[in-house]
Structure 1
């Protein structure tokens, strides 16, 4: 039985139905036409369209490509938001540029987007050897974007919510954090004489502050009387990305990564003299440089008074480890060493978490699994007296 049609275009028969969307300024009806291979198909397209309008969907959705809208969202909304740090936007832009811009997702019309298309793309990335962590970060970005698309009426629901999407790839066991042994600490400290960054290294070891937090410290943050360091900002070296996509590498001072990172950290009495040494060093540098010295309130500066460049610090750190004949560890290992030593000296988990500025106790526990089991074991051993033979 032949399918009934009522319209022919370019030699192909269709069934056409129309809907009245309202009237224009002259009172003329605004019509929208829908085509299908049968009456039921055309009516279904009409129903979906009108239902979408009823639910607040943007009537231009059918012409909007996922890649185009996510670019607009990133550069015209996210980039200028005061809630997004430059370091975060740099990460988002990299995910878009590497995994959306030239991907199969880019040219998908939002009106035709299905969760299965996203899933297949993730599966393909996994097959190419991309890590589960990378795919999770991409999914977080897309989920945030799809929420925006729903709010703006481009989508009726977020395809990445709930259990619609499964992140492929095997979860890798957490690597044990790098830290220095007592012997290595001794070797490191003994080789700090005449090192430009000696005070910085010792304070990292004695306070557990992140590198960026240390480099952003000002003298106003140092309370020598009460032996407290106030952490409220961080230095980072990032690409500042303009609206046209151009980039410029800069060092910036920004608020810490989490609310918990804003904190006060006590430091050992033996570190008090280090701050006095820094003051003396800065005065000497200023006398040598004269008017060319960059006067600021920062605690850690170069010999000319400017902020320390993180790249230069990394090179100097690598050179120091080679001089000490120690295996390579990141500068961040000093922070891990601080935490490890606290646990070894039976400091409570909650206290360590607060000193480190972690967002939760769970994060601290998961990071330092290499030392916490021993701490638990030692605690249980203290109950031996109960079972001691008389």
Structure 2
């Protein structure tokens, strides 16, 4: 959950993430895969299957710098073997997106936080980045968007406090003596 709050990655990207996609020495995370459960056309007991594929667009394949303190936190939990899935540390065992979303809902409930979709972490990341003054092009690339308009129109939700702070800047232009 923290990784998504600090990087803005999608739940499918989180579930497909492997430890070898994280370079703690360079403090970067490589987003190269996504995981999803899809319906199968096969007439069998299995109506769906988990697929690990390339992300949804060429812009979604990206390198995300990690904050120094967050990289230190990751280093403290990194398994001895730097292979395997990030969420399990195991080579052939993963957590699928639906399970991660259900886990997230249980965490919110146990913390007495209002219910939210896992994707809200991505929106929160984008909004906080704008509040901290990120330039929009960098943010758009970190999120894996094709252009800045997608980032601004879908992901950034400025608070009233931020709007008020911006409007307060106009005070310097209004000098009544």
TM-score by length of structure 2 reads 0.82
Matches within 5 A, 1:1-390: 201-242=1-42, 248-280=47-79, 296-301=83-88, 306-368=93-155, 370-371=157-158, 378-379=165-166, 381-389=168-176
Q: Secondary structure at the match of 1:297?
A: coil
> What SS does structure 2 have at the residue aligned with 1:237?
strand
Cα deviation, 1:47-73, whole Å, max 9, x if unaligned, reads: xxxxxxxxxxxxxxxxxxxxxxxxxxx
SS of 1:347's equivalent in the other structure is coil
CA drift at 1:256: 0.9
CA contact (8 A) 2:30 2:62 kept: yes
Size of the alignment, in residue pairs? 177
Are the structure 2 counterparts of residues 267 and 255 from structure 1 closer, same or farther at C-alpha, using a change threshold of 3 Å?
A: same
Unaligned runs of 5+ in 2: none
CA 1:369–1:296: 2 relative to 1, 3 Å:
closer
Give the SS at the match of 1:241.
Answer: coil
CA contact (8 A) 1:241 1:247 kept: no
Rounded to whole Å, the distance in 2 between the matches of 1:304 and 1:261 is 24
In the TM superposition, what whole-angstrom CA distance separates every residue of 1:37-56 from its partner, at most 9, and x where no partner exists? xxxxxxxxxxxxxxxxxxxx
**1:250 counterpart SS class:** strand
Aligned partners of 2:83 and 2:89 also within 8 Å? no
Following superposition, the deviation at residue 313 of structure 1 comes to 2.2
8 Å CA contact 2:83, 2:90 repeated in 1: no
Distance apart, 1:357 and its partner CA = 0.9
User: What SS does structure 2 have at the residue aligned with 1:325?
Assistant: coil
Structure-2 separation of matches of 1:304 and 1:228: 21
The secondary structure found in structure 1 opposite 2:76 is: helix
Q: Matches of 2:20 and 2:83 in 1, distance apart?
A: 11
C-alpha distance in structure 2 between counterparts of 1:335 and 1:369, whole Å = 10
Contact 1:227 1:266 in 2 (8 A): yes
CA distance in 1, matches of 2:84, 2:91: 13
Please state whether the residue corresponding to 1:300 is helix, strand or coil.
Answer: coil
- Please give the TM-score of this superposition, normalised by the length of structure 1: 0.40
Query: Quick check: 324-333 or 342-351, which moved more?
Result: 342-351
Does the 8 Å contact 1:343/1:372 carry over to 2? no
SS in 2 for 1:327: coil
C-alpha RMSD of matched pairs (Å): 3.0
Stretches of structure 1 that go unaligned for 5 or more consecutive residues are 1-200, 284-294
Tell me if the contact between 2:19 and 2:89 (Cα under 8 Å) persists in the aligned partners. Answer: no
Say whether the 8 Å CA contact 2:122–2:155 is kept in structure 1. Answer: no
The answer for the alignment partner of 1:42 in structure 2 is none
Does structure 2 retain, via aligned residues, the 8 Å contact 1:343–1:375? no
